[in-house]
């Protein structure tokens, strides 16, 4: 049993009630999440966040600021009618929520805490330019994640530079990591690791089948071969033209022309 001094929302005083072990829920940005709490059909319930702001109050059917048109108290026949469905989760929703179950006399008979952790998956793209410089852009994710580079199945240690940027409105994060590729390789891979998931992006050199360093030499060698072929054809044509002209200038003599 716990002794608790209630806020002005309910009756003041020291009341005794049962406190459940905190539950843990993972929510994804843009999706719905269910915060659990159980009560009987006759009992009322008030949901608050850790700052003691009202999220939902079943007595007045009131939704708190920031939660309007985003909450719904679930009704079923299994004692779970106090569970709260929170719609369109955002990063700002992360935190602890408290369900207070009230008796008909407006006294707290049960307290259930739920810790909500929010995540958003990063979108990862990798680009490489001349000079073997590669950039990994991981956008629109949460929470902040670790970025690692892989080459030929081997993790590259301490060879990248990472910066981050947080959007003020959505609180989502963009990560930027740069890498200079020193060894020959066809592909590089950027892996973004967050607490609940991982995402990755890969760049493969479309020109050089075996090395980033061959990117400029392959077109040069092809051009050289074409130039040699063109030169050979021109020489053959010139030779044929010159031989044909020489035959016309020096006709074959007939036997009757010999004295």
Per-residue pLDDT of the chain in tens (259 residues, 90 and over written 9): 344 434 444 443 445 566 678 899 999 999 999 999 988 877 889 999 988 899 999 888 899 999 999 999 886 545 557 899 999 999 999 999 999 999 877 788 889 999 999 999 999 999 988 767 899 999 999 999 999 999 888 888 876 788 999 999 999 999 999 988 776 667 889 999 998 889 999 988 765 544 454 333 345 566 777 888 888 888 878 877 777 766 666 555 555 554 4
Confidence (pLDDT) at 183: 67
Q: What is the pLDDT of residue 213?
A: 44
pLDDT of res. 17: 61
What b/e string do you get for 128-167 counting C-beta neighbours within 10 Å, with b at 16 or more? beeebebbbbbeebbbebebbbebeeeebeeebeeeeeee
Q: List strand residue ranges (DSSP E) for 77-132, in order.
A: 84-86, 95-102, 108-119, 123-129
Query: For position 169, what pLDDT does the model report?
Result: 93
Give the Cα separation of 6 and 12 in Å (integer). Answer: 5
pLDDT at 86: 96
pLDDT of residue 217: 38
pLDDT of residue 247: 63
pLDDT for res 11: 41
* pTM listed for this prediction: 0.68
Rounded Cα–Cα distance for residues 39 and 106 (Å): 14
What's the pLDDT score for residue 75? Answer: 64
Place of tokens 């843990």: 24
Please enumerate in sequence order all residues whose Cβ is within 8 A of that of 191, keeping only pairs 6 or more positions apart, or say none: 147, 148, 149, 150, 198, 199, 200
Phi, psi of 6 (to 5 degrees): -80, 155
Query: Which pLDDT belongs to residue 1?
Result: 39
Q: 248 — phi, psi (to 5°)?
A: -65, -35
d(CA 179, CA 159): 6
């Amino acid at each position: 049993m716990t002794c608790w001094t209630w806020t002005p929302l309910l009756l003041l005083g020291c009341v005794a009630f049962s406190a459940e072990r905190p539950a843990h829920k993972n929510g994804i940005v843009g999706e719905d999440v269910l915060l659990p709490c159980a009560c009987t059909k006759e009992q009322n319930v008030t949901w608050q966040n850790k700052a003691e702001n009202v999220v939902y109050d079943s007595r007045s059917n009131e939704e708190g600021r920031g939660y309007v048109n985003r909450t719904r108290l679930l009704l079923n026949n299994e004692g779970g009618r106090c569970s709260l469905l929170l719609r369109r989760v955002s990063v700002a929703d992360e935190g602890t929520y408290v369900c207070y179950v009230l008796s008909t006399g407006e006294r707290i008979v049960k307290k259930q805490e739920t810790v909500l952790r929010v995540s958003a998956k990063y979108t990862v793209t990798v680009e490489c330019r001349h000079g073997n410089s590669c950039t990994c852009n991981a956008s629109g994710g949460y929470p902040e994640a670790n970025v690692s580079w892989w080459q030929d199945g081997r993790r590259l240690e301490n060879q990248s530079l990472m910066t981050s940027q947080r959007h003020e409105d959505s609180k989502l994060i963009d990560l930027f990591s740069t890498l200079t590729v020193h060894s020959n390789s066809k592909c590089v891979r950027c892996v973004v690791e967050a607490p609940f998931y991982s995402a990755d992006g890969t760049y493969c050199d479309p020109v050089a089948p075996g090395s980033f360093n061959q990117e400029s030499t392959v077109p040069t060698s092809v051009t050289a071969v074409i130039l040699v072929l063109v030169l050979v054809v021109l020489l053959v044509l010139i030779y044929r033209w010159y031989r044909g002209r020489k035959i016309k200038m020096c006709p074959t003599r007939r036997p009757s022309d010999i004295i």
